[in-house]
Amino acid sequence: MLTLSEYILKRNGVPLGSKGSLVRNLKNSFGAESNAKFWKYWNPIWGFYLSKFIYLPLKKYLPQSVAALVAFGVSGSLHDLAIGIAGQGWQNFFTIWFLIMGLFLNASKSLGINYSKFRFTARVIINTSSIVFCFILTKIFINMPF
């Protein structure tokens, strides 16, 4: 198992805390050639711990897509917990949003969606749009009468 520093170096191509690492991370993430690659690069510190404690252990017993969906759900729940602790109360918004993003990730992987032939600017728009699209779906889902 990689250390946090090794993981970040592998993901960003530069060591943790080095000059330009944030810019490199943002370029790698938003300029990624697929939704799966976006999440590979996005927030490497958070990703390291989610991978180490949630995704990899679950992947031993569950299909990769289910393990990823659970990791997204846990991540969303932890974001909701932070909002709750900050005094905003538990709202489940992030849990639902992150689960939808996990479903989007699984769908894009299973469909083999890749946009490597597009220019960097187009990939930034596509990756940003996927997050916004999942956000809008979450808002719609939350406001649906059940």
The pLDDT tens digits for 58-77 are 999 999 999 999 999 999 99
Report pLDDT digits (tens) over 98-115. Answer: 999 999 999 999 999 999
Binned at pLDDT 50, 70 and 90, residue 32 comes out as: very high
pLDDT of residue 146: 62
CB of 90 within 8 A of CB of 84?
yes
pLDDT at 91: 84
8 is in which domain, residue-wise?
A: 4-142
In this prediction the pTM is 0.92
The average pLDDT across 27-56 equals: 95
Structurally, how many domains does the chain consist of? 1
Q: What is the pLDDT of residue 144?
A: 81
Contact 50, 75 (CB under 8 A): yes
Whole-number percent of the chain with pLDDT over 90:
79
Contact 56, 146 (CB under 8 A): no
Q: Are 42 and 58 in contact (CB under 8 A)?
A: no
Q: DSSP for 24-46, please give it.
A: HHHHHHHT-SSHHHHHHHS-HHH
